[in-house]
C-alpha cells in the first residue's frame, strides 16, 4: 500500500552547561563525534568525517557493537553559521536544522528534522533525543577532572630516579611515547615556570604551560598546569583550557632498600583518559629501563 502520510517535522532539544564555543567544537569535530553519536550503549560510531562548509559533506559510520549491522549516516551542508546554525540535507532529501542558542555559560541546542515516513515518528524522536542527550552528557562530563594513578618499582635509589627523570636528555627519552619531540623549557625549582612542548605532524608546536608548585628533591614533585600552548602561544583562559588550568601532576618517590616506588597522580579529562591510560605505563617502563641500565 502506498505511503500517503504528510511530511512531518520533529524537534528534539536540550540545554547544555557549557559555552557555545565548546558545544560547537564538540558537535563538529570528528574526534568528539565518535564519542557521543549513538542512541544506545550497544551502538557506536567508530569513524566520522566532517567537511564543515556550505556544500561540504559529512559521514558518520554507525554500527552495532556486536557487528550485526551498520550504516553510513551522510549529508551535505546547506547552511553553516559558526556558533549559531547548521543546516543539511540527508541523502534521501530530508532536511535537518540545528540551532545553537547561547545564554552565558550554557547553550540550548535544538534540532528540527524531517521524519522518515517509513518509521513511526515517536520512535525517531526518541532515537534522536537519545543521541542529543548523549551529546549533552559527553560535553558536561568533559569539564569534570579525572585523577589517574600510576606506579612503578625501579631497581635504583630515589636520588637516581629523581635526577634521571628531570635530566633534559633523559626526559626527552622517557616521554617520547607521549610525543616523539617531547621536551621542556624552564626550571624545576619550586615556583618556577616550565613549558612542556612537542611538535605535531603539521610542524606546529604545542603543549602545556605550568609552574612547579613543589619540589622536594628525591621525594616529591608537584606540577600545576596553568594552560595550554598552541602554535607557541600560551593560552591560560577561555574554553580551550577548561579542565587543564589548575590540573596537577604529582610524583612521589619512596625508597626501600635501594628500590624506588615511583607513584604518579595526574589530573586529566574525559577526552584524554583512554590515551593516558595507554601511554603512561609505556613511558614509565622506559624510565625504569633508563634508571636500571648499568645499575
Domains, the chain, with CATH or none: 9-142 (3.30.530.20), 146-292 (3.30.530.20)
Q: Where are the beta strands (DSSP E) in the chain?
A: 9-16, 43-50, 57-64, 70-81, 85-90, 95-103, 106-114, 146-154, 183-186, 193-199, 205-216, 220-230, 233-235, 248-256, 259-268
pLDDT in tens, 262-274: 999 999 887 788 8
Per-residue pLDDT at 295: 53
Return the higher-pLDDT residue of 231 and 287.
287
pLDDT in tens, 88-121: 999 999 999 999 999 988 999 999 999 998 889 9
Residue 3 has, within 13 A of its CA and on its CB side, a CA count of: 8
Of residues 244 and 132, the one with the higher pLDDT is: 132
Helix, strand, or coil here: 290?
Answer: helix
pTM above 0.95, yes or no: no
When the pLDDT of each residue in the chain is averaged and rounded to a whole number, the result is 92
Residue 144 confidence (pLDDT) above 50:
yes
Task: Kindly give the pairing relationship between strand 70-81 and strand 85-90.
Answer: antiparallel
pLDDT of residue 2: 38
Amino acid at each position: 500500500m502506498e505511503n500517503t502520510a504528510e511530511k512531518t517535522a520533529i524537534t528534539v532539544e536540550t540545554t547544555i552547561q557549557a559555552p557555545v564555543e565548546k558545544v560547537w567544537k564538540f558537535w563538529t569535530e570528528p574526534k568528539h563525534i565518535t564519542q557521543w553519536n549513538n542512541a544506545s550503549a550497544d551502538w557506536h560510531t567508530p569513524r566520522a568525517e566532517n567537511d564543515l562548509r556550505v556544500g561540504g559533506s559529512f559521514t558518520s559510520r554507525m554500527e552495532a557493537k556486536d557487528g550485526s549491522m551498520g550504516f553510513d549516516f551522510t549529508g551535505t551542508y546547506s547552511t553553516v553559521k559558526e556558533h549559531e546554525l547548521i543546516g543539511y540535507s540527508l541523502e534521501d532529501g530530508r532536511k535537518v536544522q540545528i540551532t545553537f542558542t547561547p545564554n552565558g555559560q550554557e547553550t540550548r541546542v535544538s534540532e528540527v528534522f524531517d521524519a522518515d515516513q517509513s518509521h513511526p515518528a515517536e520512535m525517531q524522536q526518541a532515537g534522536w533525543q537519545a543521541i542529543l542527550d548523549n551529546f549533552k552528557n559527553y560535553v558536561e562530563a568533559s569539564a569534570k577532572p579525572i585523577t589517574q594513578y600510576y606506579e612503578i618499582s625501579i631497581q635504583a635509589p630515589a636520588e637516581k630516579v629523581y635526577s634521571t627523570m628531570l635530566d633534559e636528555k633523559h626526559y626527552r627519552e622517557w616521554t617520547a611515547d607521549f610525543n616523539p619531540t617531547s621536551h621542556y623549557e624552564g626550571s624545576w625549582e619550586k615556583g618556577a615556570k616550565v613549558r612542556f612542548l612537542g611538535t605535531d605532524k603539521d610542524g606546529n608546536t604545542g603543549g602545556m604551560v605550568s609552574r612547579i608548585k613543589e619540589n622536594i628533591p628525591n621525594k616529591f614533585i608537584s606540577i600545576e598546569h596553568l594552560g595550554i600552548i598552541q602554535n607557541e602561544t600560551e593560552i591560560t583562559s577561555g574554553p580551550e583550557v577548561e579542565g587543564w588550568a589548575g590540573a596537577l601532576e604529582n610524583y612521589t618517590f619512596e625508597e626501600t632498600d635501594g628500590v624506588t616506588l615511583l607513584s604518579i597522580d595526574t589530573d586529566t579529562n574525559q577526552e584524554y583518559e583512554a590515551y593516558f591510560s595507554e601511554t603512561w605505563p609505556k613511558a614509565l617502563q622506559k624510565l625504569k629501563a633508563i634508571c636500571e641500565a648499568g645499575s
